[in-house]
């Protein structure tokens, strides 16, 4: 069973705003490439979303089912990706200071994935879910109201020397009307 943890600079409610929008699933789930349909009751227990995974032209249509949902706290899903199999994915969110801690846990429960040696499967899932939490951080923090803490994206852009919207940044006299004579 693979476990990943990440501190996000937003509230648990911000995280669940993203999780509650099934149409965003391929934006944060590594491997999901498009949405086909989302139940009106998503993300309540029993709701399904119909997605595809893979890269065109090799796409596989499948679905994910919510098994348990506790708003702003917990979401347990059965993610299908046949012919690879099925996995149980648990997302647990706890407040921490002005942000929150998000834990994702994933384990194969059906299909050929169950027979991959645990050390190999855990390594692959850990690698994939590290990026999944990275993407979830971008979405949840980006949708949250601006707070004193910088978002993951802002920190990465600052470290690379990029500016983001809202930064004064350098001006260009050829394109900046404020510099016209």
Q: What pLDDT shows up at residue 181?
A: 40
The number of beta carbons lying within 10 Å of the beta carbon of residue 80 is: 21
Residue 91 has pLDDT above 80, yes or no: yes
Crossing angle between the packed helical segments 118-143 and 152-160, to the nearest 10 degrees: 90
pLDDT in tens, 104-156: 999 999 999 889 999 999 999 999 999 999 999 999 999 886 555 678 888 88
Which residues are bridge partners to 154 per DSSP? none
Q: What pLDDT shows up at residue 145?
A: 65
Where residue 171 falls among pLDDT bands split at 50, 70, 90?
Answer: very low
Cβ proximity of 82 and 108 under 8 Å: no
pLDDT in tens, 35-80: 999 999 999 999 999 999 988 888 999 999 999 999 999 999 999 9
Place of tokens 């994915």: 89
Where residue 163 falls among pLDDT bands split at 50, 70, 90?
Answer: confident
Q: What pLDDT shows up at residue 139?
A: 96
Using CA atoms, how far residue 55 sits from 33, 154, 169, in Å, is 7, 29, 37
Residue 180 has pLDDT above 50, yes or no: no
CATH number, domain 2-151, options 3.40.140.10, 3.30.1330.10, 3.30.530.20, 3.40.50.300: 3.30.530.20
Alpha-helix residue ranges (DSSP H) falling in the chain: 12-19, 25-28, 118-143, 152-160
Give the single-character DSSP code of 168: -
Q: What pLDDT shows up at residue 177?
A: 41
Which residues are bridge partners to 66 per DSSP? 77
Q: What pLDDT shows up at residue 146?
A: 58
Residues 6 or more apart whose CB falls under 8 angstroms from that of 61 comprise 36, 50, 51, 52
Residues 66 and 38: their CA atoms lie apart, in Å, by 12
């Amino acid at each position: 069973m693979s476990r990943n943890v990440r501190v996000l600079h937003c509230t648990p409610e911000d995280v669940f705003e993203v999780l509650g929008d099934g149409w965003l699933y391929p934006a944060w789930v590594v491997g999901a490439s498009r949405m086909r349909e989302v139940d009106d009751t998503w993300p309540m227990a029993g709701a399904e979303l119909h997605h595809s995974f893979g890269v065109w032209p090799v796409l596989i249509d499948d679905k994910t089912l919510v098994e348990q949902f506790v708003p702003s706290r917990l979401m347990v899903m059965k993610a299908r990706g046949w012919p690879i199999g099925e996995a149980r994915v648990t997302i647990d969110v706890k407040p921490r200071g002005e942000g929150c801690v998000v834990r994702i846990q994933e384990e194969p429960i059906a299909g050929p994935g169950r027979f991959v040696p645990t050390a190999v499967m855990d390594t692959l899932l850990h690698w994939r879910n590290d990026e999944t939490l990275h993407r979830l951080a971008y979405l949840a923090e980006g949708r949250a109201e601006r707070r004193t803490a910088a978002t993951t994206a802002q920190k990465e852009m600052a470290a690379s020397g990029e500016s983001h919207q809202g930064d004064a940044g350098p001006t260009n006299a050829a394109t900046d009307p404020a510099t016209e004579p």
